[in-house]
Structure 1
Amino acid sequence: MRTALTIAGSDSSGGAGIQADIKTMTANGVFAMSAVTALTAQNTTGVKDIMEVSPAFLKEQLDCVFTDIRPDAVKIGMVSSSELIRAIADKLKEYRAENIVVDPVMVATSGARLISEDAVETLKECLLPEADILTPNIPEAEVLSGMRICTEEDMICAGQKISETYHLAVLVKGGHQLNDANDLLCQGGVCRWFYGKRIDNPNTHGTGCTLSSAIASNLAKGFSMEESVERAKTYISGALGAMLDLGKGSGPMNHAFDIHGMFVREAGKEAE
């Protein structure tokens, strides 16, 4: 079995972060491992509190994973401090990690900045040079490219600029009133659109975590970058299309929409 590691924050409500990553990786056929960067107290209505781990403890987690069950791919999500970003970059270099997917959690859907300016600079300087693919949303792509993104052409320019600057593939995710459900992959000077069908589901908590984890899972299984993105988009469309409705706010998706068998049946229901 192929393996994947998620380095991210824990979501106590189970819809995003480490919990979403593990569900996604399991549903996509790889063995999931985790290194927790922070504990969060949150639910579908918002984040109430965050408690970061120390850089030393994060390094211990990464040492334990890499020296025992080496991951075939690594997904990196919420990392809010420069010290933690450096710790991750140091360990990725030390163990020569492969198939590194970075979901740069910098800007919330509301537009609020989630990490400090110096942490963004550390991300650019230390972590992005180690990555294979970056998956920013529109506001995050604006931060990384230093330009406003208002049109499809702007998405292409920003994606190419980020890809050329950091020598990696970039998947600029549509949304924020621009190209919703349509994502742009730029790598090696070539850009390709991945068109999706907009699903009218208000429960989108954890979509970024889920997409990046699905890409990492497919890279771990040996699919190409384009195939991994295409398969990940198909998976997330299915998870959204299952129309799970939990919680009082923007709820989670059904990561297990395609899992069938005797162990997922409810009591009293026969196999169909």
Structure 2
Amino acid sequence: MRNIDEFNITRAVLQSLEGCDDPRLQEIMGALVRHLHDFAREVRLTEAELMRGIAFLTAAGQKCDDKRQELILLSDTLGLSMLAVALNNARPAGATEATVFGPFHVHDAPRMEQGDDIAAGAPGEPLDVELCVCALDGTPIPHAEVDVWQADEQGLYDVQIPALGSRRRARAVMKADVEGRLRFRSIVPRAYPIPTDGPVGEMLVATGRHPWRPAHVHFMVKAAGYQTLITHVFRAGDPYLDSDVVFGVRNSLVASFDGDAQGRRRLDLRLVLAPLEP
């Protein structure tokens, strides 16, 4: 198409996608083009602003490596990650709710056993965790795989500490027993700011937002015949529960980390998995 102007350019780009042989890709790209063009027209985007946006995305990509994912942070802080979770993780009543995955999961977490201390030297107040993985009707799910990870009392994950190298701490992959139960030791989570030394941090400052996440522990639970659960458990009373920078808090995921009769902190959980859809 010739003689492109601010109105007919959208149609021209959409026509260029008509040869796409992947219907879903064509649907996604078409919607993306329409919304991007409508956005630019609505705000009367200047060329200088466009280039500044491109520079921001370039810097975000350059900040990424095998230990840091700035683009996940961007998606999280814009609410896009949580929106995708909400769109794709509808669960039946009674199932534990899902929330954002976050950028700090790793695929080489150590395998540990019942009763182990997953903190592995990470600083923090000791915490005893006991959880049960079960189905909607309360039936225990035997031998479910439970992947756990969290920050230390300084608000740092192991992958953020160069001195640790490849050594892992405050994370583990474990198996529930035949009754769906899992017991392990860890440390009490603390609120922490997401990394602010990159473009996402600059965006938060520019838009008057704080970088803090409420204290939480991550869980990913897998079992044959059930939907994989990716969730957090948040510490009750945390001051950032109502202003989580990544919008991940759900009331059902807030739990007590109070002390027991001996003064040790405890977390008792019931993680309920939804069955796979037939």
- The TM-score by the shorter chain falls in which range? under 0.3
TM-score normalised to the size of structure 2?
0.25
Would you tell me which structure has more helix in proportion to its own residues?
1
RCO greater where, 1 or 2, for CA within 8 Å and sep 6 or more?
Answer: 2
